[in-house]
Amino acid sequence: MPHVSEIPHSRYHRQELLAGIGHRGQSLLSDSHVLIAGCGALGCSSAENLARAGVGTLTIVDRDVVDITNLQRQSLYCESDGTGRVPKAEAAKRRIGAINTGIICHGWVDHLAPDNVRSYLRGVDLVIDGLDNFPTRYLLNDACVEAGIPLIYGGSIATRGMSMPILPGETCLRCAFPWSNSPTASTLGENETCDTAGILMSAVVMVSAHQCVQAIKWLTGNREAIDRSLWSFDCWTNRTTRMPLASARQPQCPCCNQRQFDFLGGSLDCDAQILCGRNAVQVRPKPQGMRAPLLHLAHLLSAHGTFALRDNLLVGTLAGVHGESGCEIELAVFSDGRAIVRGSTDPILARTLYDRYVGQ
């Protein structure tokens, strides 16, 4: 008779010992399909967590490539991914495949937009938000509310983070953060990004852990145990707060109550247009006609290149950021929030750089 320590167990044995999961819950996870929208720091951490938990199918969508500065916090990538500028979705798929050969992982190098987001939601049981900009988050919120698919929102900057579940029939992102008060072109540069404020990986892991445990509760049928609050913290000052989502729900929310999907319809999407013959892309945020605080933005961008403020125009070069031809990217930001990204004709790269350095 074999010694008890020699009895073979499933790789999920320790997880199956949990009263809320067991064999049935593990089987439900195996049959589940999760979309991870964005595979930066949050997306990497969540993808690895769910892959190790045994979620049967993961689909990762990300528009960006790995940069050497990502390696401090984006746990699925290695140095060769950064030096080789490998697309994040491809590098993440390869790493997930090495972590767990028993699950399926799809990686798509793409920008989530009104014309493709519905296709990525087909057959998906739950969505994890790993995005880095608010317009795409609101687009995803629209699509998930329309389809009745749960979305687990998460965000992290500096030493702070927050997370909340967006569940069918309950509070949505536009209830908690109404668009009129959300980051728009009127506050460009005032809202921090990882590139202007920094980021502590520990804060990222805290947020993604909260996202993943809510996801696992939903997927295993433990829906009454889900944390129905907007949970936020600052791990440096040891502050933690919770706002019950029931109190945040807006009876007149245009999305979850009126089912008016402005972002899904494209009316509030950010517009990127190639400028013919100029090796440049114009990025125009919506709503338009609002002013950007260029003096503050100039101060933030001074850490990333050489920039000068000329009347109502901020111009400069992003150090170490190169376009297709190998030349450094030039950035010109106008007082109405519009920007011209020179040195590339790739609209996706232009949007990415706009979100990263100008902010949304």
Which domains, ranges and CATH numbers included, belong to the chain? 4-248 (3.40.50.720), 271-358 (3.30.310)
Query: Is it the case that residue 218 has pLDDT exceeding 50?
Result: yes
Q: How many whole angstroms from its chain centre is CA 50?
A: 16
In this structure, how many other beta carbons lie within 10 angstroms of the beta carbon of residue 291?
14
State the pLDDT at residue 312: 73
Average of per-residue pLDDT across 117-142 = 93
**Using CB atoms within 10 A of its CB, is residue 308 exposed (0-12), middle (13-18) or buried (19+)?**
exposed
The pLDDT-based confidence of 327 (bands split at 50, 70, 90) is confident
Query: Is it the case that residue 10 has pLDDT exceeding 60?
Result: yes
Share of the chain above pLDDT 90, in %: 56
Q: For residue 89, which phi and psi values (nearest 5 degrees)?
A: -60, -35
Greater pLDDT, 308 or 179? 308
The pLDDT-based confidence of 125 (bands split at 50, 70, 90) is very high
The pLDDT-based confidence of 344 (bands split at 50, 70, 90) is confident
Strands of the sheet with 271-275, listed across from one edge = 271-275, 280-284, 339-342, 328-334, 313-322, 305-310
Q: Which residues contact 138 (CB under 8 A, 6 or more apart)?
A: 173, 174, 179, 182, 262, 263, 268
The pLDDT-based confidence of 50 (bands split at 50, 70, 90) is very high
The pLDDT-based confidence of 278 (bands split at 50, 70, 90) is low
Whether 93 and 39 have beta carbons less than 8 Å apart is answered as no
Average of per-residue pLDDT across 68-88 = 91
State the pLDDT at residue 182: 44
State the pLDDT at residue 184: 40
Whether 152 and 219 have beta carbons less than 8 Å apart is answered as no
Query: Is it the case that residue 189 has pLDDT exceeding 60?
Result: no
State the pLDDT at residue 348: 82
Tell me which range, 132-136, 198-202, 292-296, is most confidently predicted by mean pLDDT.
Answer: 198-202
Distance, in Å, from the CA atom of 153 to the CA atom of 119, rounded to the nearest integer, reads 20
Summarize pLDDT for 138-166 with one digit per residue, the tens: 999 999 999 999 999 999 999 999 999 99
Among 150-154, 187-191, 328-332, where is mean pLDDT lowest? 187-191
State the pLDDT at residue 181: 42
Q: Which residues contact 102 (CB under 8 A, 6 or more apart)?
A: 11, 54
Average of per-residue pLDDT across 186-205 = 72
Query: Is it the case that residue 107 has pLDDT exceeding 90?
Result: yes
Query: Is it the case that residue 244 has pLDDT exceeding 50?
Result: yes
For the chain, how long is the longest CA-to-CA vector? 84
State the pLDDT at residue 113: 86
Whether 110 and 63 have beta carbons less than 8 Å apart is answered as yes
Whether 208 and 47 have beta carbons less than 8 Å apart is answered as no
Whether 331 and 317 have beta carbons less than 8 Å apart is answered as yes
Query: Is it the case that residue 27 has pLDDT exceeding 90?
Result: yes
Could you say which DSSP state residue 65 is in?
Answer: B
State the pLDDT at residue 6: 54
Greater pLDDT, 333 or 33? 33
Whether 281 and 341 have beta carbons less than 8 Å apart is answered as yes
| Residue 22 parent element (H or E) | helix 22-30
Average pLDDT over the chain reads 87
Average of per-residue pLDDT across 92-110 = 96
Distance, in Å, from the CA atom of 30 to the CA atom of 18, rounded to the nearest integer, reads 16
Closest C-alpha among 3, 24, 359 to residue 185: 359
